[in-house]
Structure 1
């Protein structure tokens, strides 16, 4: 049975409708919606299925074959396509091409032009990447929300338990070079590698938490490091995945979904773990529950598609700079004006998430209160990110979003210095909600804008550097905060007031960096290079796009 193809193109006050079949008896029907017939338009047919064939030899016998090999309506206009008197192009570009047939995907049309498509299977890989980012973050915060119970169970101090989080973050930095290399060749290898590390790390943690002598700190630490090695392979992958599978109308949202799943996993850890481990003896049970979830989520990673048969847009098929050549592009001042504050704020988010229990409990808050506060930080942030990402996908107002979010983040850290001593629940909830909304709105925008500024550098380079810097600083900030912890004779004992002051000072110092983007005669350096490449290609009629 022949498969229909339907194309609609706007031109000269009317709409031409093309209806063809892929059979050898293809028919062409065209009619203007205003009742007139203007066959002076030449319509490029991008899909190879709109071309009829003669005896299977590939010869085009349709009545609208142009000299340049493109499919066109017959016309009284000269075949050299001279400009019209009104200054417009004589070729009407296709506004909409719908093709419900996936057969033959991966090829261009007979004229040798690439057909750009997006595929439904992209959602399978995106959901899997999202779930892995969620679970790896939950693994990270398995012990921090119940640090006092974990310290008792493993026979170590709370400072030693903090090293579970710190080592996890430092492991990210160690694996970053390999992450960049693997993502350069595609996201699937990276995602599968993360799944393997997560499964192994969780199994090792279970072994260290269920020995005959109780918990074995060193074994659990080794498992935590293995999971930490998994994180960069999925946390740095969203920009690479969205570049490979999505158009510029969906990349920010796709990157946001997969990236923001990581802090959402932290929220689940903050909220759920205190209910799983209400005393020291239950810490091992919490580890088992998290391990089961991690293994179940990791297994489908081996079955995701590696790459689409055809790219979604021209930028997806553009050869990326080699890793060596990418180092030259990193000299851009604008890149670092975003990379530095991004790393600082991600670092403080990691630090606050790991230490929130120790920040609030000395002032009379319960472990459950601290867990709920951490969940508020992240859940409100996720809602803000879900609202802002589609809007920014359409408007491309990346600079405005960055310049609005960064001052709010800096001021939120300043206000938070004065919140724990109030000993009221509303204070932490409100400030952390504002901090989460600004932080989560910034993350996908900054990551995508870094890709735009660095194009044609492969997206994983800036993504891995940005996240790696955040993990490195997060580990350092945890160590510094632990060193600034008050002594047992302070009021209250073991408070982190000085650590919060340190956080506020550094956070405010980073605010002017993104605010200076475009100043000092450098506004031309802020161009959206990848978007400009896609628009330029489409404006010249070099390809069509069809969802499959």
Structure 2
């Protein structure tokens, strides 16, 4: 792209010329004409003042041929062209793949808990502790994640790739023999995979803010964020097919390690940032890390969304980890429990694929959250009695609704947090929210152990008490987000990234 400036009797003409079409060539050039020197000075002052006050321009202030992807900033007789780049999809696909494999690594053992326990010669509770260690690893490393991501997401991608590869091969090092495995290696490997998770799970909001315009951020965040539970669905479906007895656990761990390595090596080649900003909000200076944290801590609205999101993510994680142990005592097979986990996730993915583009256009984030939360809470109550039916229809239907609600909630809540907290960098709120979800997930899995019924119960080892515990938490957390915007605080729930554009239009 080249710019040509010439002085005429009428004033200054600045033309931005597009180069020959390439992969990243903008759709068209931008032409500005300032009628005379006096009006030129006034115009420049006007544009500067608009940028200083809002960091974004209205649709009327853009050329009619521009979108917010090509928003001109006129200063000193030059023009800056906002545009999106096709290479953004490479990074988004990479982020999606790594989120899939991190989650698959988490649920490697849970779908085949009995065979895994026999292979490592430990109890089922010890296998549950692998999931707990995974959750707590996120919580332990998330302050480091904040620091790394505040300096650019590419280094975070590389850290995630290294940790994911190393963690998987440590697990296989202790599982290479079909006769039995080393539990300590499985635990250390699970911790490494848990360390990798925050670098990719907390990144989608930051990545979409940097590479996508406001018209595509929710969809981009949804694709990368929801890839995480997709990995869990693949683990629930595929791992039981690989394991027919305890000796097959070794090859299952090997297969997951190979796939994880293949999906991670390309992380070293993703671009760190677009050559030019894709829109005005993406180049708005973000607050430094520690001022961001101080500002977020003082916001009641952020705490309310954070609390609800964390509890519901924790409940989802607990159900995913323990679904086999919830259903099997009532006569369900490992395969049927695995299909139930897949229903939970696949229906959720389909729902999110439908709702995310709609909410990208409407921006009714708060309304959607207030509709979804009560529905999911009601389903957790109903699920208390579903395993007792000993039929597939009841549990599968309720799991499908829970999955649909939770999956639709994830990208909405992440983007809503980013909008409420702007100009705080999005990775601050998203990392903290996900860390809260992992922390509660770990607590819920730990609490589940003493809530398991005894061997003399009907049926033995059932988890009805835990299902009641889950339902109580779901109902208790729901009012937190339902009161958002009440008591004269409606101005506290505005979408700050869109506010300047709405005011100007």
Same topology, TM > 0.5: yes
Q: Which residue of 1 aligns with 2:494?
A: 527
Asked if the contact 1:70–1:111 (Cα under 8 Å) also holds between the matched residues in 2, the reply is no
For structure 1, the 5+ residue unaligned runs are 4-21, 27-41, 52-61, 72-77, 82-88, 540-548
Asked if the contact 1:146–1:273 (Cα under 8 Å) also holds between the matched residues in 2, the reply is yes
Q: Which residue of 2 aligns with 1:94?
A: 63
Q: Which residue of 2 aligns with 1:265?
A: 231
Q: Which residue of 2 aligns with 1:546?
A: none
Structure 1 pair 480/79, CA: closer, same or farther in 2 (3 Å)? closer
1:480 aligns with 2:451: no
Q: Deviations over 1:117-148 (max 9, x none)?
A: 11111010001001100111001000000000
Q: Which residue of 2 aligns with 1:180?
A: 146
Asked if the contact 1:69–1:111 (Cα under 8 Å) also holds between the matched residues in 2, the reply is no
Given the alignment, which residue of 428, 431, 447 partners 2:398? 431
Given the alignment, which residue of 175, 178, 194 partners 1:228? 194
1:457 aligns with 2:424: yes
Asked if the contact 1:256–1:385 (Cα under 8 Å) also holds between the matched residues in 2, the reply is yes
Q: Which residue of 2 aligns with 1:315?
A: 281
Shift of 1:318: 1.2
- In structure 2, what is the Cα distance between the partners aligned to 1:46 and 1:123? 32
Asked if the contact 1:235–1:467 (Cα under 8 Å) also holds between the matched residues in 2, the reply is yes
- In structure 1, what is the Cα distance between the partners aligned to 2:18 and 2:388? 71
- In structure 2, what is the Cα distance between the partners aligned to 1:527 and 1:533? 11
- In structure 1, what is the Cα distance between the partners aligned to 2:252 and 2:13? 59
1:408 aligns with 2:375: yes
Shift of 1:183: 1.1
Asked if the contact 1:485–1:498 (Cα under 8 Å) also holds between the matched residues in 2, the reply is yes
1:285-304 superposed matches below 5 A: 285-304=251-270
TM-score, with structure 1 as normaliser:
0.82
Q: Which residue of 2 aligns with 1:470?
A: 437
Asked if the contact 1:137–1:263 (Cα under 8 Å) also holds between the matched residues in 2, the reply is yes
Moved more, 358-367 or 320-329: 320-329
For structure 2, the 5+ residue unaligned runs are 20-30, 47-57
Q: Which residue of 2 aligns with 1:48?
A: 16
1:93-492 superposed matches below 5 A: 93-97=62-66, 111-211=77-177, 214-330=180-296, 331-492=298-459
Q: Deviations over 1:368-405 (max 9, x none)?
A: 00000000000000001000000000000011100001
> Over the residues paired in the alignment, what is the CA RMSD in angstroms?
3.1
Shift of 1:65: 4.2
TM-score, with structure 2 as normaliser:
0.88
Asked if the contact 1:203–1:223 (Cα under 8 Å) also holds between the matched residues in 2, the reply is yes
Q: Which residue of 1 aligns with 2:54?
A: none
- In structure 1, what is the Cα distance between the partners aligned to 2:44 and 2:371? 53
Asked if the contact 1:267–1:375 (Cα under 8 Å) also holds between the matched residues in 2, the reply is yes
Asked if the contact 2:5–2:15 (Cα under 8 Å) also holds between the matched residues in 1, the reply is no
- In structure 1, what is the Cα distance between the partners aligned to 2:3 and 2:479? 63
Structure 1 pair 49/144, CA: closer, same or farther in 2 (3 Å)? same
Asked if the contact 2:324–2:338 (Cα under 8 Å) also holds between the matched residues in 1, the reply is yes
1:518 aligns with 2:494: no
Q: Which has the higher helix share?
A: 2
Asked if the contact 2:121–2:180 (Cα under 8 Å) also holds between the matched residues in 1, the reply is no
- In structure 1, what is the Cα distance between the partners aligned to 2:454 and 2:186? 28
Shift of 1:155: 0.2
Q: Which residue of 2 aligns with 1:16?
A: none
